[in-house]
Amino acid sequence: MDFNAVYHEANDNYCYPFNNDELIINIKTGYDIKSVNIIIGDPFANGILGGGEGWEGESEPVVFKKRLKNQLWWTTTVKPEYKRLKYYFELITDDEKWYYFEDGFLSDEQKNLAGRSRQCFVFPWMNPCDIATTPAWVNDTVWYQIFPDRFCNGDHTLDPENVLPWRSHKEPVLNEECFGGDLQGIITKLDYLKDLGITGIYMTPINESYSNHKYDTVDYTKIDPLFGDETVFKELVTRAHERGVRVMLDGVFNHSGYYFAPWQDVLSKGPSSEYFDWFMINTWPLSEGGGHAQKGEYYTFAFFDDMPKLNTNNPVVRKYFIDICAKWVEDYGVDGIRLDVANEVSHQFCKELRTRLKAINPDIYILGEIWHNALPWLRGDEFDAVMNYPLGESIKDFWIDKSLTNEDFEYTVNRCYTMYMQQTNDVLFNLLDSHDTKRLRSDVKSLDAYFAQLAVLFTMPGSPCIYYGTEIAMEGSYDPDCRRCMPWDAIEKGEYADRINIIRELIDLRKQEPLLKSRNFHFPNEYADHPRVIQFQKVGWSDNYIEIIINTSEEDVEIAQKGEVLFARHYIDTALLCNGILIRRIKE
């Protein structure tokens, strides 16, 4: 047996309560393992621990598994009668059987030695307040990310002197350019978003700042006057809610802008400033010239001297910014808050933020910008979810790297959904591009490949988000070119009606078919002879599932007609053409 491939621990994503009654248990093994049994029971079924209780437990098969690149991920759900569980595993290969305990592997003979200890795995107690909970509404939400300055100019009285005429979306933009998009502009387009099927808006920062992106905040207590004021924002939230659209704000608490008043006070007064400990300053005075971050004189976002890093280890700093967030929830009525550079903010800040905001609104959605495995932030006491960049990058990689097979696609998608608890998977923020990345349309060679990737996005577990302009296949290179102006004139003339209708159809399908939002999926691998054909099934009931098939090969593939076609592109009779999409419901 491949002992090195086996792994389990009685916590985190390997063993956790899904709710008050159900405990989910996962174990990784090598491909040599043909079956897994779990031996479970109450820790005190035969007496107190250490009292010669002779604990045995009952054996149950672990029947569900997912394939990873080099391992199998086995999963089962149990219902401990008394909210606690003691267990170990029986691992069976073609010619071996081993028992897996917390301290390692035992043979039959070792396990049955008189007096030998059995150091079982134990989940001590399913305390309700320790169970990770996530807001259910997020799984039903389709998000639309807006970069306000480039979305729509709805109030020209707010335009600064340096405002530029609205530019064609086919022309690049620069960071220092201002086009006058504002909150009133978003209000005027709420009916457009509702008609598209959008049920959640995520806006990049709207607090006062001298940049167009607002990630260098000057005043966290004010809405940037170029965008509007509190009255306009409250109207936006109210009108969005009237249309069934949620609103999420972006909070920048890892760093501030150069002109943030506390930082200016530090620059003026040095160590005598009451705000000196609000930042992470290593040496004083600062040297002449720039490059302070590179010299290690103080910490910043990346190496931008104008974005000094906030010290969220300081309880005064934590309170200040948590109070800001509480105001957004209490006074503005926002439904979610996204934390920028969330993996560099202290865990203590994130824990206190969650406690405060959930006390105000238990259904608030707390989202972290983390681009890597984020399990330390997703144990139920910090964020509800993170931006699922690993999934988005994996989807795009499959189209870029032609050497990858449908099995590789299966492995990487399964990796993305075995990193966290199931309740987290339900609300992961799934995206293919954003204000921080190259736009998807500029990453693919054809519109067919573009819509094929979006079809995958809208059928994955979690909560999908499209970036403004995705519905018209807007192009744009890396930041800042990915932040072009939205072409409202062309949209209103119907120039992009066909593209918009495809996105609307995918959104409507996701909203109408509960299985498309489900966390349960399966790769049947029925097209092994066509390694560039993706096939997966969203399963709910044994006789009813939705199948997604996408042909990314260079040749047509025969797909037998079966079930009810829910969505199709380039599917003619029984031929699925290159980058063809087939989504169908099958009842057996």
Three-state DSSP string of 467-490: ECCHHHCCCCCCCCCCCCCCCHHH
What pLDDT sits at residue 445? 87
Provide the CB-side half-sphere exposure for 543 (13 A, CA).
2
**Strand ranges across the sheet with 200-203:** 385-386, 365-368, 336-339, 246-251, 200-203, 143-146, 463-467, 429-431
> In the chain, what are the domains?
3-130 (2.60.40.10), 136-254+312-516 (3.20.20.80), 258-311 (3.90.400.10), 519-587 (2.60.40.1180)
**Strand ranges across the sheet with 72-78:** 15-17, 23-29, 72-78, 64-67
What pLDDT sits at residue 540? 83
Q: How far apart are CA 133 and CA 128, in angstroms?
A: 10
What is the DSSP secondary structure assignment for residue 281, as one 8-state letter? B
Q: What is the pLDDT of residues 432-454, one digit of tens each?
A: 999 999 999 999 989 999 999 99
Q: What is the pLDDT of residues 22-56, one digit of tens each?
A: 999 999 999 999 999 999 999 998 887 765 567 88
436 within 8 A of 394, measured Cβ to Cβ: no
Residues classed as catalytic: 340, 369
What pLDDT sits at residue 397? 97
Residue 547 has pLDDT above 60, yes or no: yes
Tokens of residue 427, six digits: 């609300």
Q: Among residues of the chain, what percentage have pLDDT more than 70?
A: 99
Q: Are strands 58-62 and 35-41 parallel, antiparallel or unpaired?
A: antiparallel
Average pLDDT taken over every residue of the chain: 96
What pLDDT sits at residue 47? 81
Model-level pTM greater than 0.95?
yes
Tokens of residue 127, six digits: 């305390």
Q: What is the pLDDT of residues 283-325, one digit of tens each?
A: 999 999 999 999 999 999 999 999 999 999 999 999 999 999 9
Q: What is the mean pLDDT of residues 367-394?
A: 98
Q: What is the pLDDT of residues 443-497, one digit of tens each?
A: 998 999 999 999 999 999 999 999 999 999 999 999 999 999 999 999 999 999 9
DSSP bridge partners of 569 = 581
Q: What is the pLDDT of residues 51-77, one digit of tens each?
A: 556 788 999 999 999 999 999 999 999
Residues contacting 540, CB < 8 A, separation 6+: 514, 515, 518, 520
Report in angstroms the alpha-carbon separations of 203 from 225, 250, 334: 16, 6, 11
Residue 117 has pLDDT above 90, yes or no: no
Q: What is the mean pLDDT of residues 342-362?
A: 98
Q: What is the mean pLDDT of residues 99-116?
A: 93
Write out the H or E segment, with its range, that includes residue 465.
Answer: strand 463-467
Q: What is the mean pLDDT of residues 102-115?
A: 92
Tokens of residue 159, six digits: 């335009």
Q: How far apart are CA 225 and CA 209, in angstroms?
A: 9
Q: Is 493 exposed, middle or buried (0-12, 13-18, 19+ CB in 10 A)?
A: exposed
What pLDDT sits at residue 114? 85
Residue whose tokens read 């970069």: 147
SS3 readout for 12-51: HHHEEECCCCCEEEEEEECCCCCEEEEEEECCCCCCCCCC
Report in angstroms the alpha-carbon separations of 468 from 147, 201, 241, 462, 484: 8, 10, 19, 19, 10
What pLDDT sits at residue 96? 97
